[in-house]
Amino acid sequence: MKRLFPILGVITAVLLSYALYEALVAAPTEKTMGDVQRIFYYHVPSAWTAFLLFTINFVASVLYLIRRSSVADAIAVVTAEVGVVFCTVVLVTGPLWARPVWGIWWTWDVRLTSTLVLWLIYVSYLMLRRFSTSGQTPLLAAVLAVFGALDVPLVYFSIWYFRTQHPQPVIGGGGSIDPHMLHVLLINWIAFLCFAFLVCWSRYRLERLRREVEEMQSLESMLESRGVR
């Protein structure tokens, strides 16, 4: 698997470069919003990637609650960390897009507010994992992750069921999108998914090594306390 990492890294770098060119140069300019609409090719794929990572976090957390699997717990931590990064990109690019189009940086409608709440929940999750010293921390974090995952469908479906400032979906729900724009959007999402996978893979390996070191240190401390050298 280690030999695959450099290959996947090169493929991901090529995809990201190609996606950048497609988003900034090749994609047609939107008639109403102009070039600022090109943020769309980063805003939307970041949101989709964050949703996917939070869903994986949910599944891993449920598995941990059922089986107390350290592997599932490590996957939950990793996907939460990387998911928060992509959700942060969503919250940053959204106002940058909204200001020239809506005339405001932020509005407290359902889509935006629920996205902010989602980000806050998973930031709280990471703070719990980082600063809590209780032996029940993984269990408490898993429960919080299951609770947080309930906000994901609310964020996604909010523009279908509520009147929001956020535009209606361009894919499904009666919306439409230029085929070339859709092509560029999907290329960027694939590139983002590859990048997220590489980051998660690296972070998972580090997390497993960290836990192995802590187990060794704990074992050494226990042996020393018993007078075993």
Q: Residue 123 in contact with residue 81, Cβ under 8 Å?
A: no
More confident residue, 100 or 89: 89
Mean pLDDT over all residues of the chain? 88
User: Which pLDDT value is given to residue 119?
Assistant: 96
Query: Alpha-carbon distance 145 to 58, whole Å?
Result: 6
Q: In the predicted model, is pLDDT for residue 128 greater than 60?
A: yes
Q: What is the pLDDT of residues 81-99, one digit of tens each?
A: 999 999 999 999 999 988 8
Rounded average pLDDT over 19-27: 93
Q: Taking the domains of the chain in order of start, what are their residue ranges?
A: 4-164+178-225
Q: Which residue has the tokens 């897009």?
A: 97
Write down the pTM of the prediction. 0.90
Q: What is the pLDDT of residues 38-75, one digit of tens each?
A: 999 999 999 999 999 999 999 999 999 999 999 999 99
Residues whose CB falls within 8 Å of the CB of residue 66, separated by 6 or more in sequence, listed in order: none
Q: In the predicted model, is pLDDT for residue 163 greater than 80?
A: no
